[in-house]
Structure 1
Amino acid sequence: MKKKMNMKLKCFCLVFISIILFRCQGNVQKNKDCSKFENEIYQEVSDTSLAKEAFDFQKYLLEKFGEKSVKGINYGAYHLQFYSSFGYGKSVKFVNKNGVYSIAVKCITKEELYPDCKEYAIRIDKEEWNELERMIYEFNFWTEEDFKTSKDVLDGYAYILEGNRPEAKKCNKKIYKLVGRGSPKYDKIGALCDYILGYESQLKFKYEQSNKIK
């Protein structure tokens, strides 16, 4: 009887220790996964009328490009839409779907305007996705002010950039964000959008050289 009691006690202790170790490992992994979000402090939207304009403009551009918002999807994505008052623009969407990375570009051209824009959709490398994310966090996409614009420009352009990161949910951090910038308002978000367009051009050139883009 005493031996049985000792065996049961040992089994109980082993199970209890295993549970504790499993929980500790889970907490360590969670802290590691949340490390890039932990210092994020979000700003409140100060101009609700400007926010409504931005969301309405996003809807307008999505229809023009034949695209859908990345909000609510269960994988990572960043979607930049650029549109000029002259009637041309570009849509650049980066996606990380369960470790499959891709970029898709759509164009709105007008007569001779924006002739270098080329539509394509291809797979990209993990490192190329990581480079995009590096820019996203370096320019504080998730914590910068959402909307800024200038109404005194007749021949300007606008950027609409949205991001979706479901992995931030378990860290109690923001999983979706939409930002908008109208020229000539320039800050980190404006610079980020410029860099994303430049980065897309670099990728296009690279994949044209390897004949992945015809």
Structure 2
Amino acid sequence: MVPKHFELPLLLLLIELLATVSMEELGELSPWEFSNCPYKASSDATPTMLYTPRLLNLRKLGNLATKTWIMFSGTVSYKDEVGLTAGYLYSVTKRDPEDSSDHSYTFTRRGTTHVYTGELLQLDTWSYGFVSCDEDEATAMKEADLWWRKCPYSSLTIILMALGALFIVVLIVATTVCIIRRRRARRAANLYPLSKRMRPKRDTILYV
């Protein structure tokens, strides 16, 4: 088995290695990527909040296009309340466009609708989001798929990958040690009876 004082440094090394590879090979993305959305990054119409770039203003997002699409990697804050799943494309619409006091929005995917009572959608740390302002779902899906392929892994995924790699290393080492010990035990068991038979008995009388 791997000594206990080696497990934590090995785990930290694997996490750092996986994080470095994902960020170097896949590249860094901004918290929210926008496709074909008519706004300037420095304008007041920007749907992302200034004090935290991971916060998306759904009201401002609705002002950009009549229909918008959202996909995210990682996790969304209050995920259980929203009911969204990473890696899926959702259409976002205001629940009641005529009611200015209603701040509810619906996220729809293949006929399944999730209602979110709020205007701000926040991503957790190491999460990334994609927004498309295209009317056509097929075009938005194609753009989202290209974005998803270059999106870095989330922190939870990196930790799980590191734990899995550590478990495999420990399992291989433990299996190798068990095989070596079993072979040594079998070799000792085979040699012991042979050496015992070759010893002269104590009550044997030698005649000349």
Normalised to the residue count of structure 2, the TM-score between the two structures is 0.29
Asked which structure has the greater RCO (Cα within 8 Å, sep 6+), the reply is 2
* Structure with larger Rg: 2
Give the TM-score taking structure 1 as reference length: 0.28
